[in-house]
Amino acid sequence: MDIGTIIRNRRLELNLTLEEIGNAVGVSKSTVQKWENGFISNMKRDKISALAKILNINPVTLITGEYPTTLPEGAVPYNPVMHRIPILGDIAAGLPIFSEENYEGYTYTELNHGGKYFALKVKGDSMTAANIPDGSLVTVRVQPTVENGEIAAVRINHDSFTIKRFKREKNIVMLMPQSYNPEHQTQIYDLKQDSVEIVGKVVECKVGFWCLFKFIKIKQGSDDIGNNKILR
C-alpha cells in the first residue's frame, strides 16, 4: 500500500487532525499533508519513529509500505476498541485540566465504562511493590473518592501530586507507599490543617514499548485489577 495512504488512513481511524499529528511529531500540519500526499523521501529517522508512535503502527510500515507479520516485543495489533486518553503534564487546583496545552501526549486504554480517564508518568520507586515501576504510565479514572486501601492520585495542599495507597480515619489521611525501598514512609495528614484531594483512582499501569500496550496487574487493595491483560 502507498505509504501516504497508510498515514492518512491511520490518522482518520484515530480521529486525529493534521495539526495534532504535526504537534506530536514536531512538524507543521502542511508537512504532514505532504507526507499523506506521498512526499516522504526526506523524512528523518526520528520523525518516522515519532509518527509511528502517534499512529500506533510499526515504523517498518512507514519505510516499506508493508505491514510486518510479526510485531515488536511488547506491542500489540491495532485494536478498534482502544480509547485514546491524554497524558497530563500538569494538574492544577486539585483537578485535572483537560486542555491541549496541558497534554504531554496520548496513550490508549481498553477501559471505558462511561468514565473519564487520563494518564500520568510515574517518577520514583515508592509503589514498585504494587507493580507500578518507575517510568511507567498509570491510567487514572477521575473520581472524588476511593475506598480505603485503594491506590489513588492525590493532590496535597493544592501543590504536590502523588500516587499512593489511600486510607482515611476520621480527619486523618494516610498516604502509604508500597515499595521495597525502606526510605519511603507513610505520609500522615490532618485534614484540619492540610488539604488532601483525591483526583482519581489508579486503574491500570503500562510499561515497556513506548509505554503504550503492555499492561500489568496493579496490586489494588486486597484484589488485583483482574481485567488488565498481560500482553507479551
Quick: pLDDT tens for 56-107.
887 777 777 766 555 555 555 555 556 778 887 644 333 444 545 567 777 8
Give just the sign of the alpha carbon dihedral 12, 16, 22, 25. Answer: negative
Please give the share of the chain, as a percent, with pLDDT higher than 90. 21
- The CATH homologous superfamily to which domain 83-222 belongs is Umud Fragment, subunit A (2.10.109.10)
123 is catalytic: no
Q: Which ranges in the chain are annotated with CATH 2.10.109.10?
A: 83-222
Domain 3-64 has CATH 3.90.209.20: no
Query: Is 164 designated active site?
Result: yes
Contacts of 137 by beta carbon, 8 Å cutoff, 6+ apart? 87, 107, 119, 120, 121, 122, 205, 206, 207, 211
Phi and psi at residue 84, to the nearest 5°: -80, 130
Neighbouring residues of 170: CB distance < 8 A, sequence distance ≥ 6: none
Q: Are 162 and 156 in contact (CB under 8 A)?
A: yes
What residues does CATH 1.10.260.40 cover in the chain?
3-64
Q: What is the pTM of this model?
A: 0.56
Q: Which of 164, 167, 206, 214 is the catalytic position?
A: 164
Pairing of strands 91-92, 83-88: unpaired
The cell for 54 is 502517534
Mean pLDDT of the chain: 76
Question: Is pLDDT of 120 > 60?
Answer: yes
Q: Out of 96-110, 120-134, 139-153, 215-229, pick the least confident.
A: 215-229
CA atoms within 13 A on the CB side of 182: 0
Of the two residues 88 and 200, the one the predictor is more confident about is 200
Return the residue matching grid coordinates 499492561. Answer: 215
Predicted confidence band at 178 (pLDDT cuts at 50, 70, 90)?
A: very high
Model pLDDT, residue 111: 75
Residue 196 has a pLDDT of 93
91 vs 140, higher pLDDT: 140
Q: Which of 64, 67, 24 is nearest to 47 (CA)?
A: 24
**What pairing do the DSSP bridges indicate for beta strands 137-142 and 91-92?**
unpaired
Q: Which of 41, 123, 126, 206 is catalytic?
A: 126
Type of residue found at 125: D
Residue 52 has pLDDT above 50, yes or no: yes
Q: CA 186, 188, 191: angle at the middle one, nearest 5? A: 155
Give the pLDDT confidence of 10-50 residue by residue, as tens digits. 888 888 899 989 998 889 989 888 888 877 666 787 888 88
Q: What is the mean pLDDT of residues 152-177?
A: 90
Q: How far apart are CA 127 and CA 131, in angstroms?
A: 7
